[in-house]
Structure 1
Amino acid sequence: MLVKWVRCGVLDRPGFDHGQRGWTAAREWPGFRGQGGGWSRSQPGVAHVFTFWEDRPAHDAFAAGPHGGLAAAQEGTFELLSERFFEHRLEVKVGFEPSFAGADLLRVALCRVHPDRAEHFTQMQQKVWNPAMAGSPGMLRGAVSQDGDGDFLVLSLWDSATERGKYRDGAVSRLSERAGLDVDVLSVAGDVADVVPEWTV
């Protein structure tokens, strides 16, 4: 499964929001699996949008077809800050579905991993991080993906900021030490966003 992460600097918030609600037409396209996103809590005016596809050819066919017409509704409302593609590697909870339904908050972490530590990082996701997140009340679903450069995207969806805060405050430092995160990664950049239900497709 292909994961597309788009980060936008929004210039016209009402216009961008209105246009984002029009992407429901994508659900009829072959290979489309789901879409959702929301507004950054730490960076005013920044929007995160995640789209899931069966594979890259399905996405590219859509991009060559109806994408332009749908995107036209948001023309001039934002600046594209980044667009990244990742391949799904692991589920955080068994039975992951690319759905934002019921989520109030999303957490995204981009981990730049030392090339010779990618295998260990993946193992620690399976053995340490994923079980801890999956066992946290309020964590709905999540996925770990990887791009061709070795960067890992960790996306988790939560039913409330309160529950996510409990996990962050009580577990992150302890789990980082146990997983040897400082040895595996060159850098970790992340954000937390309030999910906009009307953007969910």
Structure 2
Amino acid sequence: MIAKYIRCDVTSQMRPEFSKGQGLWQETAPCDGFISQLGGWERTTGKAIILALWRDMNSIQAFMTLEHDVIAENTNQAGTYSAISVSYLQAVMTIPGSIERSEDRQADCGFMRIADCQVSPTKADLFIQEQQDLWNPGMQKLEGFLGGHLWQFIHEPQRYLVTSYWLSEEDHDDYVRDHFPLLKQQAASKIIATISGHQVQTEKSWKITL
């Protein structure tokens, strides 16, 4: 599975037009290999962040060749953002949600947390193992945790993205307040070289699910 990770700088004045155009990407749904899309506004920076999931790179390349430009023209988004960054990521791990909500995943996601991590190649296996053994079970204890993914940037193999999907921002805040501090104490201190985070309030009209 491949993720197309999109970040756009959008001024507050252009937000309504950008959001309206983003909703028109629903036309992507019937494209071969498309899985789902989720996005919204980053809480601190105000950036638009979109995460589109595809079966493989061949599906993305076919979409870019055959359908992308027509849909993009219809959305009329070109003048609504001042900068755009696009990255492609390979799935490393799918993180199941809590037992109570294991079937939901992105469809009911109201809030997405993103951790952007730089990891030395010599510590990549430790990083992945700790995600599986410590962080995943820690999040899965909360009913509002819908699941997530661990990704590796295709063109930056030392860079990883952890995306976690939550029923609401309040559910994520409960995790940060009541569970995260203890998990952090148990985590190894020198596995991750650098880390930055994004908190995204998702927009219902941007979601695309099959």
TM range (shorter): over 0.9
1:159 aligns with 2:167: yes
Q: C-alpha separation between the residues in 2 aligned to 1:87 and 1:51?
A: 12
For 1:99 and 1:175, how far apart are their aligned partners in 2?
Answer: 23
Counterpart CA distance in 2 for 1:65 and 1:22 is 17
Tell me the distance in 2 between the aligned counterparts of 1:116 and 1:138.
Answer: 34
The reply to whether residue 79 of structure 1 matches residue 79 of structure 2 is: no
Match of 1:137 in 2: 143
Structure 2: gaps (5+ residues): none
TM-score normalised to structure 1 length: 0.92
Contact preservation (8 Å) 1:40, 1:193:
yes
The 5-angstrom pairing of residues 1-201 of structure 1 reads 1-11=1-11, 12-44=14-46, 46-72=47-73, 73-93=76-96, 100-148=106-154, 149-180=157-188, 182-201=189-208
Q: In structure 1, what is the Cα distance between the partners aligned to 2:162 and 2:116? A: 7
Deviation larger for 106-115 or 94-103 = 94-103
Distance (whole Å) between structure 1 residues aligned to residue 183 and residue 44 of structure 2: 24
Partner Cα separation in structure 2 for residue 168 and residue 79 of structure 1: 33
Instruction: Provide the secondary structure at the position in 1 that maps to 2:193.
Output: strand
Cα distance, 1:171 vs structure 2: 2.5
Identity of aligned residues (%): 30
Query: Please, which moves more after superposition, 119-128 or 77-86?
Result: 77-86
Q: Using the alignment, how far apart are the partners of 2:33 and 2:198 within structure 1? A: 28
Shift of 1:40: 1.1
SS of corresponding position for 2:61: helix
CA-CA distance at 1:98 after TM superposition: 9.4
Alignment RMSD (CA, Å): 1.8
Give the C-alpha shift of residue 97 in structure 1: 7.8
| Contact map agreement 1:34 1:99 (CA 8 A) in 2 | no
Q: CA deviation at 1:135?
A: 1.5
